[in-house]
Structure 1
Amino acid sequence: MASAYYPPEPLAPGEEWRLLATDRFVGAFAPSTGMHTMATLWRIAAEPSLGLDALVGAIPTRGADAVESFAIAGIGRATVFVVRGEACSDVSVAGRMRRVDARGAQPWYVAELNEVDRFALGPLQRSPGDLRPTETDLPLDGGVVFGPWLGWARDIVASKPVPPARPVTAPSPLSELSPYDTNVLGDLGRRAASLTRHRTEPPATAPTPETAGAAAFRLGDRAPERVDAPVYVGRQPRSPRVTGPMLPRLVRVESPSREVSATHIELRPTPQGLVLTDLQSTNGTVVRQPGSGVRRLESGESLPVAPGTLIDIGDGNVIEILAYR
């Protein structure tokens, strides 16, 4: 079985992170996170009909209640990590260690990884270690507690009962709560549009006022194309999913040496701009952003991209992000 766990002693006085766990989500939130916010997040995380987009969208990122640092993992066939500020996720993927941090991305950074066997969520300052639970760690089968960081591992069995560690008030029924009701979650809920993974997402419709100013892209010498629906680019692209009448666009490129994967990247319009995702390509995706230099996306990573960004997917196929006029 898989289980979450945490060490009982804080790193230092006043540095107790807020740790949340359900069977689908685990998260670590900075010590300054208000308890009202944690109670709301626990209610959403405990509701089976709500997905990762609703959970992330309910986190305030502006104003007096802003949560400046957090790390969340959505557990499923793949593991989706959402990281902001001074938080990080130390992850063991098929036995290899890596760290997922925000890298300055706003409002957060997203990575989707397969074959995750262990990970730990918490502040950047912690040493990742080997991510294995120790005899002094306490199991967390569900709820919200306080601690220095939160771990998760497959194939471990909790050997101790969970202590009464200052839990947040149990959630109230959510039968009337909708993740798309902005009176409940606020406009922040729309920021998580690119994270939708659950089956209860609303059907796609015509472009909204927020997406009416979507970006465009140009592939090599081809004419510019507007990104008003998800775009999948590759050697023989296929859409991972189709929801509603707004069909995605498939863009085929030539790749004589097969550097480009069959479905290499996704470009998805969101109310906050265009999001690029490497769809677990074989040879990776190289991105040059204005003022940020060159970086290579890890397999499954997502990144907001602005006009002026160049995306190299291999075999001379370079995509330029343009402002739509």
Structure 2
Amino acid sequence: MLTYAVHGQGSALVTERLILLADVPLDEASELWSSVREYDASFESVLSALAGRGIGQLRDFALLEFVPGAQGAVSTALRGRATIELDGDTYSGEGVTTWSEASADRVTCVTLRLDEAPRDTPSLPLNRGVVQTSELVWGHEPLEQFSLTNTSETDRSALFRNAPALRAMTETNPEEQTIVRRTVPQWMLRFSSGKVVGIGDRVVIGRRPTPIVDNGEKLETLLSPQREVSANHAVLRGLEDGVEIIDLGSKNGTVVQPEGSEIALLRGGSSTVLRAGDTVDFGDGNVAECVRASHP
């Protein structure tokens, strides 16, 4: 699991096998993301893009690659004050003209850091994308997490803006962690394929859904031969008046068609409430209507 601290002015870029933490503003990081092209990005292409403006303008950075086909093997590049911690051993980029490179095997825990975040700084999960942060951790659970149920609307909006690949938030104190209460579904998503998904407790839906909180959630798999549906695409939660749907940073977004209103596209942690008669399109023909559940 990869998490980032909601702290600092650096930027992180994450693909399926690369993690870059750089001392650059978010807009510059987004340009860099486009230049290396997510699916074609390689260790060398990212280094070339970083050095594209000349060594004299090269910013501090930490780059890590999970070596394909070698479990636990990583390659790293470091410059300036950036550090990478591999299973407790810290490597620094201080004192080099360009950058220093290293490799390691059988790595289980990684921390990339520009500046150390305060202990009470919230951490959020990140699958893939660009986000503002000064610290990323891979391989173990973050020390501090937040609960969506105990967060104000203002705080929720701020957290969504900082979480383009948002997956979940749990409380900081494990002893006070919210326990999922199993409820009878009051709502359903009725798909055009005939599939029906009951929505009572939280439901994670996607191509290969996985749990996003420790205390359990319902998982619903959608067939997606063209891979238009993301692995963890969205999370659903039954409310009194409808179904809350939160896009989990899906690649193609989630298309919502409210009954009698204009189509809306949810992306990067944005959310809405589905009412009876509204439809939602997850991609690859997975279109569903929100309806009230009927019980005997």
TM-score using structure 2 length: 0.44
Quick check: which one's helix share is greater?
2
The TM-score, its normalising length taken from structure 1, stands at: 0.40
